[in-house]
Amino acid sequence: MRRAATTIAALAAIVLGAAGCETTQSESAKIGHELGRQSAVASQTSLGAASRAVRVERKVLLRAGSSSAVALELVNDSAQAQVAFPVLIDVADSAGKSVYRNDTKGIEPSLQQLALLPPHASAWWVDDQVLASGPQSVSAQIGSSTASAPAALPALQTSGVSASASFPGPHVSATVANRSKVAQSELAVYAVILKGSAVVGAGRAVIASLAPGASAQVLIPVIGTIDGRTIALTAEPSQLH
């Protein structure tokens, strides 16, 4: 990752350890089923203007049993921070038929956008609610920022990052601290497990609220495996003012 954990984007590359802790995987699965029912809603989120600043460096479709996830490595080639920009994906089956899209209005913002990507930086974004039958490939489109970043950006810090395959399944745990004076809400934390250059697992969790100066432990269910050597963790501030 191009930024240390103490920077605004709180990206971390950490050698895997072992930790036996509970996860919210079952709760995430329930949420996934709810989102699946929402997919019948006709209203859709549009991409808007395509981004000229952010590109998709890598896109990976992960499958584990009946669960699937998409992980995108995004790169900001510009000298400006990119804020709340759309990230839309289309997952297809072996026949090329679309079986999942994340453009349904009303789902969690972290499933449709990245809150912040600093200038000349990279970050991982994960959709862990790919509710589809027989997913085989994924395409992605990145939209332009919907707002401008302030001169001073809130700082987040991650620590205590570890992974475990204990009951009820593979997961990553970490502590996220808000080192700014800006309260955070619906703060997304994305985790990607890398084995060499290969992505072998990915997950996402959301911290409901994080007051200025406060910290919280987050448990991130992983789709795939933690059988890798590195955790790439992305925690972007959701509130900039």
- What pLDDT score does 179 carry? 97
Can you read off the two tokens belonging to residue 210? 């994080």
CATH 2.60.40 fits 49-142, yes or no: yes
- What pLDDT score does 222 carry? 97
User: In 10 A of CB 77, how many CB atoms?
Assistant: 14
3-state SS, the chain, equals CCCCCCCCCCCEEEECCECCCCCCHHHHHHHHHHHHHHCCCCCECCCCCECCCEEEEEEEEEEECCEEEEEEEEEECCCCCEEEEEEEEEEECCCCCEEEECCECCCCHHHCEEEEECCCCEEEEEECCCCCCCCCEEEEEEECCCECCCCCCCCEEEEEEEEECCCCCCEEEEEEEECCCCCEEEEEEEEEEEECCEEEEEEEEEEEEECCCCEEEEEEECEECCCCCEEEEEECCCCCC
- pTM of the complete model: 0.84
The terminus-to-terminus CA distance of the chain in angstroms comes to: 25
- What pLDDT score does 228 carry? 86
Can you read off the two tokens belonging to residue 76? 């900001």
Per-residue pLDDT of the chain (241 residues; tens, 9 = 90+): 444 333 333 444 444 433 333 333 344 344 343 433 333 333 567 888 999 999 999 999 999 999 999 999 999 999 999 999 999 999 999 999 999 999 998 899 999 999 999 999 999 999 999 999 999 999 999 999 978 899 899 999 999 999 999 987 899 999 999 999 999 999 999 999 999 999 999 999 999 999 999 999 999 999 999 998 899 999 999 999 9
- What pLDDT score does 5 carry? 38
In whole angstroms, give the CA distance from residue 85 to residue 17.
33
* CATH 2.60.40 domain span(s) along the chain: 12-27+149-235, 49-142
- What pLDDT score does 224 carry? 96
In whole angstroms, give the CA distance from residue 136 to residue 56.
18
> What CATH code would you report for 12-27+149-235?
2.60.40
- What pLDDT score does 46 carry? 81
